[in-house]
Structure formats: C-alpha cells, structure tokens
Amino acid sequence: AIAKDPRYVFVRGDINDRALVESLLRQHKPRAIVHFAAESHVDRSIYGPGDFVQTNIVGTFNLLEAARAYLGESTAAAREQFRFLHVSTDEVYGSLAADSPPATEAFPYAPSSPYSASKAAADHLVRAYCCTYGFPAIITNCSNNYGPRQFPEKLIPLVTLNALAGKPLPVYGDGLNIRDWLYVTDHCEALRVVLARGRIGETYNIGGNSEKTNLDVVKTICATLDELRPNPLIPHHSSPITHYSSLITFVKDRPGHDRRYALDASKIRDQLGWQPHARFESGIRETVAWYLAQGDWVAGIMSGEYRKWVEKQYGVRD
Ligand code: TYD
C-alpha cells in the first residue's frame, strides 16, 4: 500500500553490514531507528543458536555503534530529537509460575532459550549504551504477536494453514502453556506512542491483555474455520471432517518450553495512555480470514526454504 509513497524506501540488507548501515544513516539522516531486526523463532534457536547470537546480539551492537557514530556527526538539534527504539520480547523475563503476577518492567531477567537469551543480551547492551554514552534509546518488551502476514513457522499461522491443508495440528506437550497474545496493529500503535512520548532510558511492556493456553488458541482457530470454511475434504479421507479440531495432535514438547509468559502493561497505559484494543476472538477472526483470502502469498511462502524447515522441525515428531 505504501510502495509508491515518496517517503518510503526499502533496502534489503543485513544489520551486520556496518558499512551499509552507516552509509544509509548518512544518506537518509533518520530521526529515529526502530530496531525490529531479529531472528525471532524459539524452535529455530534450538536447532541453530549461532544465527541468533550473530543477528540479535552482534547485529544490535553494530546498529548501536553505527547510530552512535551518526549522532556524533549530527547537529545538536538532531541529536536532541533522535530516538533508538529497541523492540524486544516478554521472553526475557523467563517462565512465570501459574500464580505469579504478570511481569512488570522491574522483573529480573531469566531467559531460558537461546532466542530469549540473545534478546536479553541485546536489551542489556542497549541499556548500557544509555547509561554509558547518554545514548537516546528506549526499550519495549512485547508479548506474542499475531495477525496477517506472520511467517507460518509461528503457532497461529502454522495451525491455520495446516488445518486448511487437512494436516495434523501439532500441539507441544500438554498444550497448557500460556502466552499473552497481542494483535499486530495494537503493537504498532504502541510503538508509535513510545516513539512520540516515551522517556529515554526507560523500558515499556506492551501486552495484549489476552492470556490463553495454546490449546485454547488452537481450538479458537478451529472453531473460526468451522464457521468460515466448513466441512473440508481432507486428502486421503473419504468423507469431509465435521470439525477441524479432530486434526489436533499432541507432539513431543519443545525442550526448555517456558510454561507461562504474562506482562503487566500498566506503565505504558498510565504514563503514555496506550492500551490494546483488539479482543482475542475478533483478532483471530481477522487473522484467519486474511489467510483464507491470501492463497498466493501463502503458496509463495510455503515453497523452498520454509518447506525444508517444516521437514526438519516436524518430520521427527510425527
Ligand atoms: P510460537 O508461536 O513459536 O511463539 P513463542 O515460542 O515465542 O511463544 O509458539 C507459541 C506457543 O505455541 C509456544 O508455547 C509453543 C507452542 N507451539 C505448539 O504447541 N506447536 C507448534 O507447532 C508451534 C510452532 C508452537
């Protein structure tokens, strides 16, 4: 939708390419960097932690150094305005007990996967740059995102697309792990608020106020599909299935699988006036409807490298 907007430029590059990052900063003179660039999938971090260290830790260090050099060459007025917004995750707080209050920004860090450890390390670096160099950064820690265009390695698109293809819906362990689900446009809106009004050196939790077990999430997707695309014909089955939930299959648990994430997002609500709008059921409905309408996008994603990942990840579990 914005491809033709003159304010928009897309450059495909690696945050570890320091020369590229520095030349882009000199060329475009941005008033902010919103740092989303990360390897983000826990299961991939279990198979290949090296990429997570490289992109999430070393890449963040590179961006910080490039931004610091850029600010050194900027005018005092530009320096004053500049913000580095580091987008992080609730997973840095580790697994919460069932009766624990949700994590506030003051919670100790206790990451348990290579992914969350790499994000925690990046958060520490960003905070250290604020303290040491007066670097104008702000950190946000969000809960599990969902919505259109999410890469199908993640639970919600994976289950939606598997269901449509009549494939098993893999639920790890007992399916009772809890995540707090944040609709993607709510997250984006929160980031704009933090960018506009957040205080330098502060951390803000961004939560969806929607704690659900994985089994609840999968069943909600199934019920939505039952309504939007009823009675599918499943390959190799003679008659249509009546409920998508009959495809739910419990598989071996993820190693080190965190039991519960939950965020206390009262700071951003009280100090900056943001709270999530989407209700989980309506957010899921919009998401599922989007995947139903986007066959081409899905077909493009499901070929090539992604197919190899699915074979590696689920081949051994079936
Ligand atoms: P995921 O989308 O990978 O996000 P995260 O690990 O960052 O929370 O997984 C969400 C939850 O769903 C998590 O508890 C793991 C679980 N899960 C499954 O049960 N089956 C799956 O096939 C996947 C990908 C995840």
What are the 10-residue block averages of pLDDT along the chain, 318 residues in total?
92 96 97 97 96 98 98 96 98 98 98 98 98 98 97 95 93 98 98 98 98 98 95 68 92 97 98 98 97 87 83 71
Whether ligand 1 lies within 6 angstroms of the CB of 158 is answered as yes
The predicted pLDDT at position 311 comes to 85
91 catalytic? Reply is yes
DSSP assignment of the chain: --TT-TT-------TT-HHHHHHHHHHH--SEEEE------HHHHHH-HHHHIIIIIIHHHHHHHHHHHHHHHS-HHHHHH-EEEEEEEGGGG-PPPTTSPPB-TTSPP---SHHHHHHHHHHHHHHHHHHHH---EEEEEE-EEESTT--TTSHHHHHHHHHHTT--EEEETTS--EEEEEEHHHHHHHHHHHHHHPPTT-EEEE--S-EEEHHHHHHHHHHHHHHHS-SPPPTT-SS--S-GGGGEEEEPPPTT---B--B--HHHHHHH-------HHHHHHHHHHHHHH-HHHHHHHHSTHHHHHHHHHHHTT-
Whether ligand 1 lies within 6 angstroms of the CB of 44 is answered as no
Please state, as a whole number, how many other Cβ atoms lie within 10 Å of the Cβ of residue 10: 7
C-alpha pair distances (Å), 59 with each of 21, 30, 54, 186: 11, 19, 6, 26
281 catalytic? Reply is no
* Cα–ligand 1 centroid distance for 285 (angstroms): 19
Whether ligand 1 lies within 6 angstroms of the CB of 55 is answered as no
The predicted pLDDT at position 315 comes to 78
**Which is the catalytic residue, given 39, 90, 105, 186?**
90
The predicted pLDDT at position 238 comes to 66
The predicted pLDDT at position 235 comes to 66
The pair phi, psi for residue 68, each rounded to 5°, is: -65, -45
Whether ligand 1 lies within 6 angstroms of the CB of 154 is answered as yes
pTM for the full predicted model: 0.94
Whether ligand 1 lies within 6 angstroms of the CB of 45 is answered as no
User: Among the atoms of ligand 1, which is closest to the Cα of residue 115?
Assistant: 7
The predicted pLDDT at position 299 comes to 83
